[in-house]
Amino acid sequence: MELLDDCDVYIESKVDFDIIDSPSRIPEIHREICTRFNETPGEARPTLFKTRYTIRHLVFPNFIIKLTPQFLDLLTFVEGVRIKNLNKTKEYFPHLFEDEYEVMASQAIDPELEASLVQQTHEIEGLREVFWLIVTNCCQQDLRYMTMKGSITDFWIRFHEYFPFLTNAGPSPRTFHHEMSEQEKEALVRSTAECGLADIIFSKAQKPQSRSPTPGDAASPQEEMNKLATLIRPYVDTVYRHNKILAAARDSL
């Protein structure tokens, strides 16, 4: 059985572990991924299985904040698979969307498989809000983390990656901006106000010299990012389950 993302979906994303000034876990992740998939990260087009596996290692047991931009690209790949598969479901099984309250059996596929497809399709339909909640929180906390570093240049580079529409400095390499709605853009901007980034940016511009973060400073972004795991894992796993069931249903036609 071939999963849909392998034949129908490709969104450029990779984690280049070699260029990261890394804690000890990152080389371990690098070795595991290279061994398991017999390739270096970024050499081949990503699959949902490999992306899911990599995300788990980036998020557990503690979120690797230094890799937040790469994580966001991987998460955006998962969102691309979700959207593509939802459209494929509408194409192959339009009867699932004809009645909001009752789905009539099509008799085209096994009833048990069809029931699973109905359940999983309903679950992935509302996941865009979850995806964007994860994105906005990651941007917010990563920028807070960046303020604890001495380089204002690094901070502004990252700020541009997350808010290219505010800096007018050209396109961002981050893929989550693709098909971003105006409402989502507004939510992203609001996230800067919610964590007081405007005051932090002003303070950092006035005093760009390095300061030693207190334990409380350093822990806060890390703790907030760790909490996101309760959203990230179910989101990715739900998309993965729907992908498998849709592939099985399509193959049975």
Q: How far apart are CA 252 and CA 246, in angstroms?
A: 10
pLDDT of residue 98: 73
Question: How far apart are alpha carbons 115 and 105 in whole angstroms?
Answer: 9
Residues in the chain: 253
pLDDT of residue 169: 72
Whole-number pLDDT of residue 235: 96
* pLDDT of 206: 59
In this prediction, residue 228 carries a pLDDT of: 92
| CB-based contact 253:92 (threshold 8 Å) | yes
pLDDT of 220: 80
The list of the chain residues with pLDDT below 70 reads 1-46, 99-106, 149-150, 194-219
CA angle centred on 221, ends 80 and 173, rounded to 5° = 35
pLDDT, residue 15, reads 45
Considering the entire predicted model, what is its pTM?
Answer: 0.79
CA atoms within 13 A on the CB side of 240: 16
* Rounded Cα–Cα distance for residues 105 and 85 (Å): 20
Residue 47 φ then ψ, to 5°: -115, 160
